Amino acid sequence: MQTLCQFIQVSIPVRKEATRVVGLYKNDTWITEKHNIKKDLITKDQSIVPYERGKDAFYHGIDYNETSDEEYREMIKVFYDNVFRLNEMNKVASYIGWLFATPLKPILTELADGFPLLFNHGSQGSGKTSLAQLFMRLVGYSNSEPKSCTMRSFPMLKMLSSTNAIPQWYDEFIGNFVNYRDSSFNFDNHGKDTSFNDGYAKWAPVGSFPNGASWCGALEMVGNVHEWVGDWWSKDYYAISPENNPQGPDTGTYKIGKGGSWYDQSWQVRSSYRKALSPSSARMHWIGFRCIIPIR
């Protein structure tokens, strides 16, 4: 059987390439479920096809309508005549810049060693979701409802890895699940999120936010107090770090605090957020520590 399989692999030519990642392919072809798009050609006779099992595969939700040159010019005119009426100018301009850059994400990431996320902050009713829904339709989503940023980590990682260049939206920060600089914060008014009240002006007892538990049940991984970790701080460490389980540089001046605290704004209370902390700050009232269990 093994010999037969090897013979088939060698003798029968593969007619089409396949990829699990839709978007920009080899920097010259845009891949969707129904089209291969090059700079001078759009074709449904695909030489490169996306594949992933399941009806919920990401590429099933992306579709483009073909338009004539006249329809395209009219769409562009209407778009630029009205886009800055949708919300605050700085928010709309940030969206436009991010959307124009995202299709080139693989190229820009290689050149700049990274690509930014876009955070759209605002109180409830400020138009964050409706603005996202509009731009989702413009970039080809058949369902323009953003996914929840509180979804489980595995489906989120699966979705994020399904495309390298199609924008994705996650909505929305839920301030009742975390202790941060919200309306109950009383040190000052700078950057306060008045749309939520977590009930604590400062730090809270461990276990106060069970609805904010991580996918494996860990509590207060973000907010409440910064989590002091064993790694030394280095601003550019991740540019040279190993891919798996980076341990940080061997020496340094500062340690790392992760996850944000009750003193921080909403954009800082996320598990990937890290801050350089001097050893003398270890006793501050916004510093805690992160416990680990070695895997044996």
pLDDT confidence bin for 14, thresholds 50/70/90:
low
The domain limits of the chain are 2-54, 69-160, 178-296
Residue 209 region by backbone torsions, left for phi larger than 0, else alpha for psi between -120 and 50, else beta: beta
Q: What is the mean pLDDT of residues 111-124?
A: 78
Q: What is the mean pLDDT of residues 161-182?
A: 86
Superfamily of domain 178-296: paralog of FGE (formylglycine-generating enzyme) (3.90.1580.10)
Is pTM beyond 0.85? Reply is no
In this model, does residue 123 exceed pLDDT 70? no
- Choice between 242 and 141, residue whose per-residue pLDDT is larger: 141
Express each pLDDT in 208-265 by its tens digit: 988 877 767 788 888 999 988 888 998 888 778 887 778 889 899 999 988 889 999 8
Q: What is the mean pLDDT of residues 161-179?
A: 85
pLDDT confidence bin for 6, thresholds 50/70/90:
low
Q: Tell me the percentage of the chain whose pLDDT exceeds 70.
A: 90
pLDDT computed for residue 296 by the predictor:
66
pLDDT computed for residue 4 by the predictor:
62
